[in-house]
Amino acid sequence: MKLEQFGWNDFFAQLCARSIAARVVAARREHFVVWTEAGEVNAEPSGALRFDSPSWPAVGDWVELRDDGPTIARVLERRTTLSRRQPGRKMREQVLAANIDVLFVVSGLDRDYNPRRIERYLVVARQSGARPVILLNKADLADELGFDVVQVVRQTAELADGVKVIPVSGLARIGLDAIGAELAMSETAVQTAAMIGSSGAGKSTILNRLLGEDRQRTSAVRTGDDRGRHTTTARELFLMPGGWLLIDMPGLREVQLWASPDELDVGFSDVEALAARCRFRDCVHAGEPGCAVLSAVNDSRLDAARLANYHKMRRELDYLERKANPEHERQTRAKWKAIHKAMRRDMKRDS
């Protein structure tokens, strides 16, 4: 096998010109499966990597192996990084996958479909550096569940702000050719994609259909609420028949953001366009007089649930930034103090 078949290119070659290079295809705590030109190898991290390195290997990473055995010496610089905040109280980044070119956001068109969750996934996708594509799975259930696929695709495309939306059905093998076509559009020889979504969205079924064999275990969603069960238990990289690569990941019960506020603004360009017409330049759309955003909500030009989701994610990202930057926290307190002062002044003027 040649490394180029696994996504190796000049970017990584410059970082690891004289060492043994390998790509991480599966990770389970401190045990990793990697692909090398010699074949598949089980590898473990070196002591230096375990205790001193800021980067821990993730699926999709390119790593350098030591000459004296299958030991990972270091993780090469990442081109893209799909991350979320680690679940729990600690403020740590959890890298879900690395070096991906396309991120498929999978949502089932049963009761798994949730526009607010899709908006959140898109923020994560844009922060990763990968190109997001939305897959609306279970399109074959349209008649049974009483929805119009064309209408749902159009509504999703509107909230996704330019992101491509593809209706598919893994079970009925509908639209699967369009998935592979997304990877053939780039000039890069071998592209890597990943699928992200909640449990029961049908990611493993799509993977099995694309592979042409049942490599990942699947199970039906619960009949009471269409919620999925965790059938995929670990992240794993697969070489697809079309020559591209796909990372399958377990369903995510929660997606805590690990991003910058700028990535949120990109995904809510409609809110940002309205904000440009607010009376106050630093308006946060939370009751200030002359707020064009709230005016748009009041006359139904902007979905109130979409704005509420924007506020929720903005609070999360501001919290992350305050923890990372104490000066930003001081400036935030000063801004809110000025806003409240202006609101009190306007109330006195109106009375």
In this prediction, residue 106 carries a pLDDT of 95
Instruction: Identify the domain containing residue 45 by its residue range.
Output: 3-75
Distance, CA of 53 to CA of 63 (rounded, Å): 13
- Which of 225, 248, 271 corresponds to the end of one domain? 248
Token pair, residue 173, equals: 């093998």
Asked whether residue 86 is assigned to any structural domain, the reply reads yes
- Do 116 and 179 have their domain in common? yes
- Do 47 and 130 have their domain in common? no
In this prediction, residue 116 carries a pLDDT of 92
Mean pLDDT, range 161-183, rounded to an integer: 92
- Do 230 and 155 have their domain in common? yes
- Do 231 and 120 have their domain in common? yes
In this prediction, residue 351 carries a pLDDT of 62
| 327: CB partners within 8 A, 6+ apart | none
Asked whether residue 255 is assigned to any structural domain, the reply reads no
- Which of 14, 47, 75 corresponds to the end of one domain? 75
Token pair, residue 1, equals: 């096998």
In this prediction, residue 196 carries a pLDDT of 93
- Do 182 and 209 have their domain in common? yes
Provide the residue type at 73 as one letter: A
- Do 148 and 227 have their domain in common? yes
- Do 242 and 265 have their domain in common? no
Asked whether residue 331 is assigned to any structural domain, the reply reads yes
Asked whether residue 174 is assigned to any structural domain, the reply reads yes
Token pair, residue 97, equals: 């996958």
When comparing pLDDT for 192 and 224, which is higher?
192
Asked whether residue 256 is assigned to any structural domain, the reply reads no
- Do 154 and 275 have their domain in common? no
Mean pLDDT, range 9-35, rounded to an integer: 89
In this model, does residue 260 exceed pLDDT 90? Answer: no
Mean pLDDT, range 11-17, rounded to an integer: 85
- Do 312 and 200 have their domain in common? no
| 40: CB partners within 8 A, 6+ apart | 25, 33, 34
Q: With contact defined as beta carbons under 8 Å apart, do 104 and 196 qualify? A: yes
- Do 118 and 197 have their domain in common? yes
Asked whether residue 160 is assigned to any structural domain, the reply reads yes
In this prediction, residue 195 carries a pLDDT of 95
Kindly indicate the confidence band of residue 228, based on its pLDDT and cuts at 50, 70 and 90.
very low
Percent of the chain with pLDDT over 70: 85
Q: With contact defined as beta carbons under 8 Å apart, do 91 and 180 qualify? A: no
Residues in the chain: 351
Token pair, residue 52, equals: 């001193």
- Do 286 and 337 have their domain in common? yes
Dihedral angle of Cα 317, 323, 324, 330, to the nearest 10 degrees: 100
Nearest to 131, CA basis, from 83, 95, 183, 168: 183
Instruction: Give tens-digit pLDDT for 261-271.
Output: 777 888 898 99
In this prediction, residue 28 carries a pLDDT of 86
In this prediction, residue 186 carries a pLDDT of 59
- Do 210 and 312 have their domain in common? no
Core vs surface per residue 318-331: b (16+ CB within 10 A) or e: bebebeeeeeeeee
Dihedral angle of Cα 187, 136, 128, 64, to the nearest 10 degrees: -70
In this prediction, residue 225 carries a pLDDT of 47
Q: Other C-beta atoms within 10 Å of 244: how many?
A: 24
Q: Please state the domain count of the chain.
A: 3
Asked whether residue 117 is assigned to any structural domain, the reply reads yes
Token pair, residue 177, equals: 């050719």
With 0-12 / 13-18 / 19 or more C-beta atoms within 10 angstroms meaning exposed / middle / buried, residue 110 is: buried
Q: What is the CATH number of the domain that holds 13?
A: 2.40.50.140
Q: What is the CATH number of the domain that holds 228?
A: 3.40.50.300
Instruction: List Cα–Cα distances, 272 to 120, 122, 157, 276, 349, in angstroms.
Output: 17, 16, 18, 6, 29
Q: With contact defined as beta carbons under 8 Å apart, do 187 and 138 qualify? A: no
* pTM for this model (two decimals): 0.83
Asked whether residue 253 is assigned to any structural domain, the reply reads no
Mean pLDDT, range 315-335, rounded to an integer: 69
- Which of 213, 248, 283 corresponds to the end of one domain? 248
In this model, does residue 201 exceed pLDDT 80? Answer: yes
Mean pLDDT, range 268-284, rounded to an integer: 90
Kindly indicate the confidence band of residue 339, based on its pLDDT and cuts at 50, 70 and 90.
low
